[in-house]
Amino acid sequence: MQNEADYLRDYRAGDFPAVLVTVDSVLFTLIDEKLCVLMVQRANHPQLGYWGLPGGFIDQRTDASTQDTALRKLVEKCGVKPAWLEQLATFSGRDRDPRGWSLTTAYFALIGWQTCQPHIRDVSDARWIPVEELAHIDPIAFDHREIIAVARERLEQKTLYSMVPVYCLGEEFTLTELQGVIEAILQKPIQRKSLVRRFESSEMFEETGKMAVTGARQAKVYRRKAGVDGLNFSRNLGG
């Protein structure tokens, strides 16, 4: 019987028909009170010219995992790393890509648009699209419309029991801005008092000492404490 070393020496990838593997990201931000997603106009076949999610193939030399692929592709388009990145789900099937049986591991990401605006202005093929306008964009590449829908669903759920929406904002923000993102995501008003209670009990934030001028009473400016990542509440907001 063959031993493992012999097996590996004789092993040739490609004996089985390969699955086409990609990695795509759904990157959200908030612009003008509107939840937006970063879309890229495809520069190659197939579906050249279609709007789709930023992503692409794994580079086996540089990527230690699909998360690295996602980050690499996002940095290409935005110039900076997203403030939040987590795996969403893997979408697969025979018909989702015309080249054959394929699979994409999708990531879910958040960033403050201010952070990457300079870079996106230069990359003419990338654009922030308000999620409400997606319905009017047709076609959309592959199954990316469905992937975005799943990502939105996940974002909504996480908004109910965590502070993730804060990663749609810049480094510094006011409570009213945070409330704005949350309400844009949930598409309904929330109780500011409930938000304040969570904001404080999370201990994820600290005052910068600065005040934001809004035309009336000035608002305290906060930032995320270094090294804090996430905190889940044991109860949902907006019952």
Partner DNA sequence: TAAATAGTGTCTTTAAGACATTATTCC
Partner DNA sequence: GGAATAATGTCTTAAAGACACTATTTA
As a whole number of angstroms, the distance between CA 149 and CA 108 comes to 11
As a whole number of angstroms, the distance between CA 142 and CA 145 comes to 8
- For the beta carbon of residue 233, count every other beta carbon within 10 angstroms: 14
> Binding to DNA by residue 235, rule CB under 7 A?
yes
**SS3 category, 228:** coil
Partner interacting with residue 123 (select from a second copy, DNA, none; CB below 5-8 Å by kind)? none
Q: Do 26 and 129 form a contact (C-beta atoms < 8 A)?
A: no
Partner interacting with residue 230 (select from a second copy, DNA, none; CB below 5-8 Å by kind)? none
> Binding to DNA by residue 225, rule CB under 7 A?
no
Binding test (CB under 7 A) with DNA, winner from 90, 157, 214, 232: 214
Residues that bind a second copy (CB under 8 A): 2, 4, 7-8, 11, 13-14, 16-21, 45-48, 57-58, 60, 64-66, 87, 89-90, 92-94, 98-101, 103, 105, 160, 234-236, 239
As a whole number of angstroms, the distance between CA 169 and CA 50 comes to 28
Quote the least distance from Cβ 133 to a second copy, whole Å. 25
Structure token digits, residue 184: 């844009």
Maximum Cα–Cα distance for the chain, whole Å? 81
Quote the least distance from Cβ 220 to DNA, whole Å. 3
Q: Do 129 and 39 form a contact (C-beta atoms < 8 A)?
A: yes
Which one, 90 or 191, has the nearer CB to DNA?
Answer: 191
Q: Which positions ≥6 away from 10 have C-beta within 8 Å?
A: 2
Quote the least distance from Cβ 157 to DNA, whole Å. 14
Which one, 94 or 217, has the nearer CB to a second copy?
Answer: 94
Which one, 135 or 213, has the nearer CB to DNA?
Answer: 213
Residues 110-149 touching DNA, rule: CB under 7 A, are: none
Task: State the Rg of the chain over Cα.
Answer: 21
Quote the least distance from Cβ 212 to DNA, whole Å. 7
Give the count of residues interacting with DNA (CB under 7 A).
29
Please list the residues that pair with 84 across neighbouring strands.
Answer: 110
**Where does this chain bind DNA (CB under 7 A)?**
174-176, 190-194, 196-198, 201, 211-220, 233-239
